[in-house]
Amino acid sequence: EANPFSNDDSSLESIVRRFQDSMSSVKRHKFWETQPVGQFKDVGDTSLPDGSIELPTPLSEVKQEPYNLPSPYEWTTCDMDSEETCTEVYILLKNNYVEDDENLFRFNYSKEFLRWALRPPGYYKSWHIGVRAKASKKLVAFITGVPARIRVRNEIVKMAEINFLCVHKKLRSKRLAPVMIKEVTRRVHLENIWQAAYTAGVVLPTPITTCQYWHRSLNPKKLIEVGFSRLGARMTMSRTIKLYKLPDSPVTPGFRKMELRDVSAVTRLLRNYLSQFVVSPDFDENDVQHWLLPTEDVVDSYLVESPETHDITDFCSFYTLPSSILGNQNYSILKAAYSYYNVSTKTPLLQLMNDALIVANRKDFDVFNALDVMHNESFLKELKFGPGDGQLHYYLYNYRIRNAFRPSELGLVLL
């Protein structure tokens, strides 16, 4: 017979569920709930296996036609070899890509950087996806993938690294992003690749790890003037400038720029170092040549060559990613270096990174940024990095890692 006190709404289970539903960590993700990613409801479920969530389907069963866009828009494949297309992408991102929480800065990836980031060994043009307004042909949205081999524990998995998802400010909140993500997924599947890696500042189901940015002032006066940092308590400008002052040149004997002839030694050093992390790229010599050989104003790499044995014992690198400064009278660009891959076997990491700061400072960067990934925590505080606000979450698509891990166990830096 009916018991008025045992209906759904008063059962303990339903009270718990409604409580959980009211918490932000289980807020509804109408799109992401349909995707093969770790779901919030499964957190802590030890019965689910690590690895692929969905099996590959035969290529003949992959949808052959693009997904439908709202009728004013059309798909375009962006040819990054074309100066004209590259400029359109550059402008879309310059005006509409990622901003900080206070909307003071916006990433300003250079054209050279975009060409580097989007044309690694084995890249697919079809994964550089734009959306245009049919009437004006104006580029209004963008998403990209590049291929990578990513090692997860003992398994090497072919993946797409997804980046540069951007919808024009005037077209936000119209559910365009899910269509773009489905379309890039379809094009990745057509190449018989079934997993992906990506990062985002927003919380989605479900991060494999959550990282924090740290910032090392190189030009504190400018950083304070533009609102990037604040004068510390009981600090004057001149004491602050003195605090962050760096020597003119690196201190480690044998510290020099990486050259083409170093590719095989650097590959060996890096592969050996990265093997200790839970997730890292599986770089071969071609990858190292592309991703780490210095490219002017894009990526800088230095190494230590032993003056006695000529062995390559240590390596450090950073990439160049300026931000536009929004609405400042005196400055329009913040020049930032981002720590990339660093390996120390002989020179203490602290000393190696101090030399990286010295060369970045000489190259006129305003700030040197680093995530708390790999062994970075061992030098951040001592080298006067300060913690930033905002976090960067790392994700895998169609690959479950039951237990999130610490950022120091992550060996992957995405651009």
Cite the active site residues. 415
Rounded least distance, CB 146 to ligand MYA, Å: 11
Residues between 82 and 101 that touch ligand MYA (CB under 6 A): 96-98
Label the pairing between strands 333-334 and 343-344: unpaired
Q: Specify the stretch interacting with ligand MYA by CB under 6 A; choose among 177-185, 217-225, 356-364, 371-379.
A: 177-185
Rounded least distance, CB 201 to ligand MYA, Å: 6
Angstrom distances, CA of residue 209 to CA of 30, 182, 283, 332, 359: 23, 24, 21, 33, 30
DSSP states along 75-125: EEE--TTSHHHHHHHHHHHHHHS-B-TTSSEEE---HHHHHHHH--TT--G
**Is residue 276 exposed (0-12), middle (13-18) or buried (19+ Cβ within 10 Å)?**
exposed
- Closer CB to ligand MYA, 98 or 326, in the complex: 98
Residues between 102 and 161 that touch ligand MYA (CB under 6 A): 160
CB hemisphere CA count around 49 (13 angstroms): 4
Give the x-and-dash track for 340-359 against ligand MYA (CB under 6 A): --------------------
Instruction: Report if residue 241 touches ligand MYA, rule: CB under 6 A.
Output: no
Of 89, 114, 131, 166, the one binding ligand MYA (CB under 6 A) is 166
Of 162, 208, 353, 370, the one binding ligand MYA (CB under 6 A) is 162
CB hemisphere CA count around 318 (13 angstroms): 25
Give the x-and-dash track for 23-62 against ligand MYA (CB under 6 A): ------xxxx------------------------------
Instruction: Report if residue 163 touches ligand MYA, rule: CB under 6 A.
Output: yes
Q: Specify the stretch interacting with ligand MYA by CB under 6 A; choose among 167-175, 252-260, 350-358, 386-394.
A: 167-175
Instruction: Report if residue 175 touches ligand MYA, rule: CB under 6 A.
Output: yes
Residues between 183 and 222 that touch ligand MYA (CB under 6 A): 184-185, 188, 194-196, 198, 200, 202, 204
Of 283, 302, 379, 397, the one binding ligand MYA (CB under 6 A) is 397
CA 202 to chain centre: 12
The closest of 412, 323, 376, 400 to 94, measured between CA atoms, is 323
Q: In this structure, which amino acid lies at residue 313?
A: T
Of 117, 167, 246, 270, the one binding ligand MYA (CB under 6 A) is 167
Of 157, 181, 278, 380, the one binding ligand MYA (CB under 6 A) is 181
Q: Specify the stretch interacting with ligand MYA by CB under 6 A; choose among 172-180, 261-269, 287-295, 338-346.
A: 172-180
Neighbours of 155 (CB within 10 A): 11
| H helices, E strands: number in the chain | 10, 17
Tokens of 251: 């201190």
Of 127, 164, 365, 379, the one binding ligand MYA (CB under 6 A) is 164
- Closer CB to ligand MYA, 30 or 234, in the complex: 30
Of 56, 121, 178, 294, the one binding ligand MYA (CB under 6 A) is 178
What is the spatial distance between Cα 402 and Cα 400, in angstroms, rounded to a whole number?
6
Contacts for 86-95 with beta carbons within 8 Å, 24 or more apart?
Answer: 86/111, 86/114, 86/115, 87/111, 88/130, 88/139, 89/114, 89/130, 89/139, 89/142, 89/164, 90/114, 91/139, 92/139, 92/140, 92/141, 92/142, 92/166, 92/168, 93/142, 93/164, 93/166, 94/324, 95/169
- Closer CB to ligand MYA, 62 or 293, in the complex: 62
- Closer CB to ligand MYA, 152 or 218, in the complex: 152
Residues of this chain that bind ligand MYA (CB under 6 A):
29-32, 96-98, 160, 162-167, 172-178, 181, 184-185, 188, 194-196, 198, 200, 202, 204, 397-398
